[in-house]
Amino acid sequence: MRFSLFLSILLFIACENKPQPTAAVEKKTEPMSEEKYNEKYRPQYHFSPTEKWMNDPNGMVYFDGEYHLFYQYHPESTVWGPMHWGHAVSKNMLHWEHLPVALYPDDLGTIFSGSAVADVENTSGFGEDDKTPLVAIFTHHDAEKEKTDAGDHQVQSLAYSTDKGRTWTKYAGNPVLPNAEKIRDYRDPKVIWDEARNQWLMVLAAKDRLRFYASKNLKDWTYLSDFGNEYGDRAGVWECPDIFPLRVEGSDAIKYVLILSLNPGAPNGGSGTQYFIGDWNGKEFIIDPAFEKDIQNGKGVWMDYGRDNYAGVTWSNIDPRDGRRLFLGWMSNWDYAREVPTETWRGAMTIPRTLTLHKTAAGYRLQNRPVREVEYLAKASHSLPKKTFANSYLLTGEVPFKVVQSRIQFTIDRSKTTAQEFGLRIFNKAGEEYRVGYDAKTKRFFSDRTESGDLGFSDKFATEKHNTEMLTAGQETSENADLIKFDILLDRASAETFINDGSIAVTDIFFPNEEYDRAEIFALGGEAKATEVKIFEMRSVWQ
């Protein structure tokens, strides 16, 4: 008995660092219709609904071995409309089982964004026969009422499930949080368990600020405080907040991270997600004094400097022995989401990412990088020679690989580089290309999809090449400040670039008229030295 306990602890520890490859690769995303996964622009290893419209991720909760992903869904159309919660589950955040729609509109309205918790102590009383209820906390949106301009058309409600999220019952006492003040944009509740105060904490977007509420039972909520109409970038409406404690890497200190999506108002146009670092005192979010200086005068600190990572939040109820803070966003932008040229479905999610918190020379900063499970999607890997070159290092000339189903990593040594610009270029015979790179003069990274293929569907899609914030002291690699590490995930219609372990992330979608089948590291205006050049060929999660 003792021995087997010891053995399982050992096994557990062993599994902790590396997920079991079998779990990661054996399962396939359902349904596996060949027709579906071969559709033009259909992501091969990013989540997308089998058909119809999808926007924000919702209700992300880990329970009983499954990651749940609900999402804003319109089952009747490929454009936004009366919202439902679509649903999928996964054991590894990559291979998904698509499940039936979880929440349908009802008398109180359609189902907008929100969160879900595992109510382990059955504080809500929704549990039966010792079964832990999953409780969804979401916004009811009454479109008819909206037309009357009364202002109270968004309220917060509950639904629960005692069968691992397979069937849901709406709470008879809905709404649990009416909108007495008639705030027009009053939505997207994210609920977490506040361990220290033994109660639930809700953060809610309320037009140009956030609101905090507390509850002992998920049904009765007490107002705590407002946060922030003086902070950050507040050009647009605040949406989809999240709050959670996170340990500062290399220390025992805990800080609170507050995530907030904004539309419009992102640094590169349209929708974007910013964050704040501070402390939670049980009543208010207190911004870290060092962080405060970075968010003055309408300035924000952003999760991602591409244009296509929005409404992202984190999974709740992750096993403390795993301990990761796992994030996923909607890979689109309200500027053009409704027009992107996919035919049978619209919308995909970013790759799931691990968030870590670092105390850098610039202050507290998040890093976000692909979850380690993504490594098991690599079916082959190639190490390419290091090279000092001008103009082009043609990767597809070294080894043939499917560019839009790959992960490309390389390091540029700036101390041996005279080029003004360097980075990755992927392109096709038709001369269409996507570039992501670094400009030595401005010290900013850029993403350029101005020649990427189909641009005609929206005049807001590719107006100019867009830039990131400057590479600051804190974002250099710890080993050597001259090195810039690129880690780029390419799928059929997206590129996610993680610079220096996710210190800067750049996520962008594109729609080439024919597939990009070539890839090069480019160096303009001089030479560049590339080292650690690696190509990973990725499996499709559909096959």
Q: What does the binding site for ligand FRU look like in residue numbers (CB under 6 A)?
A: 55-56, 72, 83, 112-113, 139, 187-188, 239-240, 311
| Least distance from ligand FRU to the Cβ atom of residue 110, Å | 8
ω into 82 cis (within 30 of 0)? no
Please check whether residue 332 is in contact with residue 308, taking contact to mean a CB–CB distance below 8 angstroms: yes
User: 55 or 314: whose CB is closer to ligand FRU?
Assistant: 55
| Least distance from ligand FRU to the Cβ atom of residue 72, Å | 4
User: 83 or 408: whose CB is closer to ligand FRU?
Assistant: 83
Distance CA 17, CA 481 (A): 28
The rounded Cα 22 to chain-centroid distance in angstroms is: 25
Q: In what helix (H) or strand (E) does residue 112 lie, and over which residues does it extend? A: strand 110-118
Q: What is the DSSP track for 140-187?
A: EE-HHHHHHT-S--EEEEEEEESSTTSS-EE-TT--SB--TT--SSEE
User: 42 or 187: whose CB is closer to ligand FRU?
Assistant: 187
| Least distance from ligand FRU to the Cβ atom of residue 305, Å | 19
User: 264 or 474: whose CB is closer to ligand FRU?
Assistant: 264
Distance CA 96, CA 115 (A): 19
User: 156 or 161: whose CB is closer to ligand FRU?
Assistant: 156
* C-alpha R_g of the chain: 23
User: 332 or 342: whose CB is closer to ligand FRU?
Assistant: 332
| Least distance from ligand FRU to the Cβ atom of residue 78, Å | 14
User: 37 or 330: whose CB is closer to ligand FRU?
Assistant: 330
Cα Dmax for the chain: 70
Six-digit token string for 240: 């989809």
| Least distance from ligand FRU to the Cβ atom of residue 450, Å | 25
Please check whether residue 174 is in contact with residue 156, taking contact to mean a CB–CB distance below 8 angstroms: no
Six-digit token string for 113: 């964004």
Please check whether residue 534 is in contact with residue 405, taking contact to mean a CB–CB distance below 8 angstroms: no
Six-digit token string for 347: 């919308």
| Least distance from ligand FRU to the Cβ atom of residue 440, Å | 36
| Least distance from ligand FRU to the Cβ atom of residue 83, Å | 5
Distance CA 438, CA 486 (A): 10
Please check whether residue 239 is in contact with residue 206, taking contact to mean a CB–CB distance below 8 angstroms: no
Please check whether residue 350 is in contact with residue 46, taking contact to mean a CB–CB distance below 8 angstroms: yes
User: 335 or 537: whose CB is closer to ligand FRU?
Assistant: 335
Q: What is the DSSP track for 63-119?
A: ETTEEEEEEEEETT-SS--S-EEEEEEESSSSSEEEEEEEE--BTTBEEEEEEEEE-
Distance CA 316, CA 319 (A): 9
Q: What is the DSSP track for 217-284?
A: SSSS-EEEEEE-TTSS--SSEEEEEEEEEEEBTTSS-EEEEEEEEEES--TTSS-EEEEEEEEE-SS-
| Least distance from ligand FRU to the Cβ atom of residue 259, Å | 13
Six-digit token string for 142: 């009454």
Give the list of residues 6+ apart from residue 348 with CB closer than 8 angstroms, or none. 43, 46, 47, 48, 54, 331, 332, 493, 494, 509
N- to C-terminal Cα distance for the chain? 41
User: 202 or 403: whose CB is closer to ligand FRU?
Assistant: 202
DSSP, collapsed to helix, strand or coil, labels residue 114 as strand
Q: In what helix (H) or strand (E) does residue 331 lie, and over which residues does it extend? A: none
| Whether 322 is catalytic | no
Please tell me which residue in 56, 439, 448, 491 is annotated as part of the active site: 56
CA-CA-CA-CA torsion sign (335, 338, 344, 348): positive
| Least distance from ligand FRU to the Cβ atom of residue 127, Å | 27
Give the list of residues 6+ apart from residue 26 with CB closer than 8 angstroms, or none. none
Please check whether residue 422 is in contact with residue 522, taking contact to mean a CB–CB distance below 8 angstroms: yes
DSSP, collapsed to helix, strand or coil, labels residue 298 as coil
| Least distance from ligand FRU to the Cβ atom of residue 67, Å | 21
Report the DSSP pairing between strands 345-346 and 52-63.
parallel
DSSP, collapsed to helix, strand or coil, labels residue 3 as helix
Catalytic residues: 56
